[in-house]
Amino acid sequence: MRNEPTPTEPDSNERHAATSSSARARSDAMATKIFTQTPLFIDNTFVAPRNPSSKIDVIDAATENVIATLPEASAADVDSAFDAADRAFPEWSKLGGAARAKYMLKIAEAVKKQSNYDQLALLESHMGKPLAESKWDVDDVAYCFEYYATKATELDGKQGTPVPLPDEDYKCELRYDAMGVAACIVPWNYPLLMATWKLAPALAAGCTVVIKPSEFTPLTLLLLMKIINDEAPLPPGVINVVIGTGRVGQMMASHPRADKVAFTGSEATGSKVMATAAPSIKNVSLELGGKSAIIVFDDASLDIAVEWVMFGCFWTNGQICSATSRLLIHKPLEAAFLTRLVECAKAIPIINPLDPAQAEATGALGPLVAKRQLDTVSRLVNEACKDNHATLLTGGRRPPSMPKGYFYEPTVLHLTPKANGKYPEIWTTEVFGPVLSVVTFETEAEAVRLANGTSFGLAAAVLSADGPRCRRVAAALQAGIVWVQCSQPAFCDAPWGGFKRSGIGRELGEAGLYNYLEMKQVTTYVAGDKPLGWYALPPRSKL
Ligand code: NAD
């Protein structure tokens, strides 16, 4: 969420304001012409798949128009990508962190260049993100490369870190070796940013990469590779992109040349990825789903809390892993809060993210990514509404004003407990759309129990004027990310990941770098000629 402008480039506010329709035409032309013919990036070259078995339609979420059709990679293409990454690994890993950082800073600079920045943001918005949000993501992409460039340089200084030992006959030091070739599989909700959260630390660590974007949103990663290749080229084979569905992802997770598997996606697919990687004991890190709670106490400031609750669930059209999509509202504030929340949710503008008249608006809602997602969200809400213990306060339908596109209104459901104390299923199921479920609580202990009562543990938030209470609740919440007085800010500088079924390992921050490093101890016997003295050695025989 943060990006320091360089003196020669416009700052991010200027960049936000500067998108032109010619940039949009260029980004669409790029999507339809170049990548449809040669959608694989291997050894710094865009190539066509060999014997593609199927094709993937990329659809604009607001118009339902097919904007590109890409042939899917075959097993032979996946092999070529891993061959390239494998060949590139020895030199890239030996280069040293400071040298790798120079490449990464050039990438950040290329991303921030106005014309590239505009094209990336526009192309990203085809997946349904209002343009203002896509631009925010592109800022984060640049910052993430800069952040890990710093970490790469610092890594050089960490090589040989002494480890104090209790025996002076030995000295021990630590080294950090790149794991090798990383197979990275990413989802569609932040197509560029989720890819960058893997690419930047992997490159900093000295790994080479084979990466697959989601079949719903493959274009912006390809555009990023084109920008990198044209303006900040890496040595051939350092990053390779393959295009395809889960079939290709499966080939990657089981590939004999993959030393590391880094996955972001749903819990169900994460479990499959783990199983696929298990026979060859690959190092697997998983960033999975969530059903995060936001607790609002009665002393919270009403309008401020309402805005954070809406941002926590409706930002990126509700398609955020960490969305605080379960509101726990303190009983004394319930009536006033829900009245205001519904009033404000109804006022959120629903827009076509690429409509020039509306695109720069903040606080707007675009369409869901795909028909599949719209169907899932509609089904989960409709099923919940059949339950006597769920009351629809607003939303729950496609907006009548948007006859085309995968739009869904901001939705609020008030849930009450059943006779067995349980809430309707939607309370613990990840919906991945703009759907907020609300439950009322009376005590702090009850709020914490309800917040922790899911199999997920990605994020949670608490809003209250009582500082010590916020600290107590933050300590008790079972989640990898806890927000106090806010929801959703994500900084590259801090570790990101979940407890329980929300994943294994952490991305971002220093921890993100260690996802791609093997720690090695080098222990040296420094007692010179002093014998070990463990065996009673017999006299030497005469030779
Ligand atoms: P998904 O699991 O359907 O797909 C993710 C990726 O995995 C895609 O590239 C897909 O092609 C690939 N894939 C599918 N089947 C595979 C298989 N058997 N083997 C290997 N790869 C396979 O997820 P999605 O619908 O793209 O994304 C939404 C999910 O991602 C949500 O659950 C969300 O919470 C999660 N997510 C988590 C984080 C996080 O940081 N924890 C961030 C973003 C999204």
| CA 388/CA 62 separation, integer angstroms | 34
pLDDT given for residue 360 in this prediction:
77
pLDDT band at 21 (very low <50, low <70, confident <90, very high): low
Is the CA virtual torsion 440, 441, 447, 453 positive or negative? negative
In sequence order, the 6+-apart residues with CB closer than 8 A to the CB of 473 are 295, 444, 447, 448, 462, 464
Mean pLDDT calculated for residue range 125-129: 95
Mean pLDDT calculated for residue range 435-458: 98
pLDDT band at 403 (very low <50, low <70, confident <90, very high): confident
Structure tokens, 25: 């035409």
Mean pLDDT calculated for residue range 11-20: 50
User: What is the tens place of the pLDDT at every residue in 323-379?
Assistant: 999 999 999 999 999 999 999 999 999 999 988 788 778 899 999 999 999 999 999
Atom 30 of ligand 1, nearest CA residue? 265
pLDDT given for residue 3 in this prediction:
39
Atom 21 of ligand 1, nearest CA residue? 249
Mean pLDDT calculated for residue range 447-454: 98
Which atom of ligand 1 is the closest one to the Cα of 216?
A: 26
Mean pLDDT calculated for residue range 179-207: 98
The residue among 233, 192, 298 whose CA lies nearest residue 88 is 233
The residue among 269, 242, 295, 311 whose CA lies nearest residue 76 is 242
CA of 273 to the centre of ligand 1 (A): 10
pLDDT given for residue 32 in this prediction:
64
pLDDT band at 9 (very low <50, low <70, confident <90, very high): very low
| CA 538/CA 261 separation, integer angstroms | 51
Which atom of ligand 1 is the closest one to the Cα of 502?
A: 41
User: What is the tens place of the pLDDT at every residue in 234-286?
Assistant: 999 999 999 999 999 999 999 999 999 999 999 999 999 999 999 999 999 99
The residue among 446, 474, 449 whose CA lies nearest residue 460 is 474
**What predicted TM-score, i.e. pTM, was given to this entire model?**
0.94
Task: Find the catalytic residue in 124, 133, 146, 287.
Answer: 287
Q: Is 522 strand, coil or helix?
A: strand
| CA 400/CA 381 separation, integer angstroms | 17
Which atom of ligand 1 is the closest one to the Cα of 252?
A: 20
Q: Is 470 a catalytic residue?
A: no
Atom 15 of ligand 1, nearest CA residue? 246
User: What percent of the chain lies above the pLDDT cut of 90?
Assistant: 90
CA of 289 to the centre of ligand 1 (A): 8
Tell whether the model's pLDDT for residue 18 goes beyond 80: no
Tell whether the model's pLDDT for residue 307 goes beyond 80: yes
Tell whether the model's pLDDT for residue 171 goes beyond 70: yes
CA of 156 to the centre of ligand 1 (A): 33
pLDDT band at 2 (very low <50, low <70, confident <90, very high): very low
Among 54, 129, 185, residue to substitute to test ligand 1 (most atoms within 8 Å of Cβ)? 185
CA of 255 to the centre of ligand 1 (A): 18
pLDDT given for residue 448 in this prediction:
98
Mean pLDDT calculated for residue range 120-134: 94
With a 6 A CB cut-off, is 215 part of the ligand 1 pocket? Answer: yes
Tell whether the model's pLDDT for residue 28 goes beyond 70: no
Of residues 69 and 16, more confidence is placed in 69
| Chain mean pLDDT for the chain | 94
Q: Is 172 a catalytic residue?
A: no
Tell whether the model's pLDDT for residue 30 goes beyond 90: no
Structure tokens, 6: 């360089």
